[in-house]
Structure formats: C-alpha cells, structure tokens
Amino acid sequence: MPCRDTRAIVEFCLNNKDQLLFFDFHKDTCQKEIGSSRRIIRHFRGCSVEMILETPFDAIPWGGNQQQLSDEDSFLHYMQWRSLQMALQLYTGRDSFIDECRILSVDWDDSEVKVRSEVLPPADMPKVQACSTKNRSVVK
C-alpha cells in the first residue's frame, strides 16, 4: 500500500433475502485485491447476514489447517473477515464503528442491495513502508 493511504474498500451484495452474493476487499487507491476474497465468498456465498455475523473467525475453513497458514495469510484473512463483519454490522445498524468503518454508498433494486464501505486504518497503526522502498532494501 502507498505510505499515506492504508484505507481499504469493502463491497458486498445481498439478495432480497439478505443472503451474501458478492464480496470484495481491495485497496482504495489502486483497487488491488487485499488477500484473496475468493476464500471468504466461497464460504459465505448464499449465507444470511445473521449467519455471517454469528460465525467466529476460527470457524472458517481457510483452505487448510489454521496452523499451516503463514502469519501474513492469517492476518489478511482476519482483515477480510473483520472488515466484512464491520460493514455488515454497520449496514444493519447493529454497531457504528465510527472510527473504523463507514458506508460510502448503498444501491438497491427489487432483487439486490449493493453496499460499498471504507475501512479506515487504526489510529495507532505503525508507519507503513512503501513496497518500492521495501523491495530496494531487500535487493541490497
């Protein structure tokens, strides 16, 4: 992520029965996917909002044993799960997450609702090093 922008976008789509149809989690500035959204949508596609909100992180099969995942993969999966949880709770009015998440848009028709929200970095987050700078220091 660029040093100055660590915001992420969560987009999800629900059908008229409040079941998840689509989920995407990407960087705000460059639209690059953060981790693999395919795993979380594979697990939750067709699930109700209630079921998603009741599912703890450790109950999701991330494609193998949790101990087999690298620390980075575990962190990215957690970020996806947490971001989807926050966005759904905010959308349904269960929590406000004012400092962490905000809804940017809600579009709907008779068959579905599309929600776009922004996940903000924590206030106490350490400084992020740009990928280009990080790569240069590894090459030396």
In order of 4, 61, 108, the CA distances from 97 in angstroms are 22, 26, 23
pLDDT band at residue 140 using 50, 70 and 90 as cut-offs: very low
Q: How far apart are CA 16 and CA 80, in angstroms?
A: 23
* Band of residue 2 on the pLDDT scale cut at 50, 70, 90: very low
The answer to whether the beta carbons of residues 39 and 63 sit under 8 Å apart is yes
Is the whole model's pTM more than 0.85, yes or no? no
Q: What is the pLDDT of residues 41-83, one digit of tens each?
A: 888 999 999 999 999 988 887 765 555 777 777 888 888 899 9
What is residue 52's predicted lDDT score, i.e. its pLDDT?
96
H-state helical runs in 26-111: 37-44, 49-54, 71-91
Q: Which residues of 39-52 are buried (b: 16+ CB within 10 A; e: fewer)?
A: bbbebbeeeebeeb
